[in-house]
Amino acid sequence: METWQAIVLGVLEGITEYLPVSSTGHLLVAQHFMSIGSTGAESKAAADAFAVCIQGGAILAVLGLYWPRVLQMLRGVLGMDAQGRKLAIAMIAGFMPAAIIGLLISHWLKAHLFNIETVVSAWVIGGIAILVTAWWRRRNPPRGGGVDLEHLTWKFALVIGLLQCVAMCPGTSRSLMTICGGLLVGLSVSAAVEFSFLLGVLTLTAATFKEASAKVSDFGPAYNTLFGGTKLMIHEYGLTPMLIGIVAAAVAAAVAVKWLVAYLQSHGLSIFGWYRIALGGVVGAMLVSGLWR
């Protein structure tokens, strides 16, 4: 992998991880056009491991931006902050559905849904879902613009967590489901976005560790060990591209998060719905016409 490719993938991961447009779908398209992971099963496994590992940069960006809130939850767990404890419980409730369902069906998802056809369908369906949510929100505006994060109950957090499971389908977008879920249970836009980001730290950390530590038994005994996928990636690309990708993802994610928070203060989510539909239409047309090879 060239340095510029690591930077492009890192920036793409950072920008799209927290925007409701699907980082997985964008990385699949980018890897395809850069011919990364296209020379065999081992190459594909290394590319998949790289895409997972650079999520660490996006996680670090949100931890840095929302450190006071993370610290509040840590204090709550230690019994030093009642509000922090309530938020930590809500965070765990939101995380548990993905943790349980992900363990049960992750292998099936990889075997059957990680393809460009699924991504294109999810882009379009997700875009329509955003437009419908925006329409519903306009027709049924919450009192006072919605409740703050401090008033989120564990039951509503569980609803958001269940919706997050839909994003296991590539192309759907985890942030799409959690932001829309937060809006549907009555959170304000800023609260829904913040909860989505914080829940993403927990969910992405677990998913990154799970994928990075996975064994890759098909490629010999050296990879049939803990962190076999990561070892395969380093063998294929070296350590430097991964570090470059993580740094690029961290910087891009920090910019994207701050932009999204500011943008949503005076705009809705509709632009992302139209973007997803347009992108799905373009890539879908390439598939139908045979231009996607």
- By residue count, the chain amounts to 293
Task: Say how far apart CA 61 and CA 126 lie, in whole Å.
Answer: 25
* Mean pLDDT value of segment 170-179: 88
* Mean pLDDT value of segment 194-199: 91
Task: Say how far apart CA 9 and CA 48 lie, in whole Å.
Answer: 12
Name the 3-class secondary structure at 18: coil
Model confidence pLDDT, tens digit, residues 218-275:
666 766 776 777 787 888 888 898 899 999 999 999 999 999 888 887 787 889 999 9
97: pLDDT confidence band, cut at 50, 70 and 90? very high
Model confidence pLDDT, tens digit, residues 18-48:
888 888 888 888 988 888 877 777 778 888 8
**C-alpha distance from residue 286 to each of 34, 116, 243, 283 (Å):** 16, 11, 33, 5
| Residue recorded with tokens 């081992």 | 42
Buried b (16+ CB within 10 A) or exposed e, 224-240: eeebbbbbbbbebbeee
| Residue recorded with tokens 């779908």 | 25
139: pLDDT confidence band, cut at 50, 70 and 90? confident
At a CB cut-off of 8 Å and minimum separation 6, what does 4 contact?
none
In the predicted model, is pLDDT for residue 217 greater than 70?
A: no
* Mean pLDDT value of segment 170-177: 87
Report the sign of the C-alpha dihedral through residues 272, 91, 208, 260, in that order: positive
79: pLDDT confidence band, cut at 50, 70 and 90? confident
In the predicted model, is pLDDT for residue 206 greater than 80?
A: yes
The whole-number pLDDT of residue 61 equals 92
Residue type, 7: I
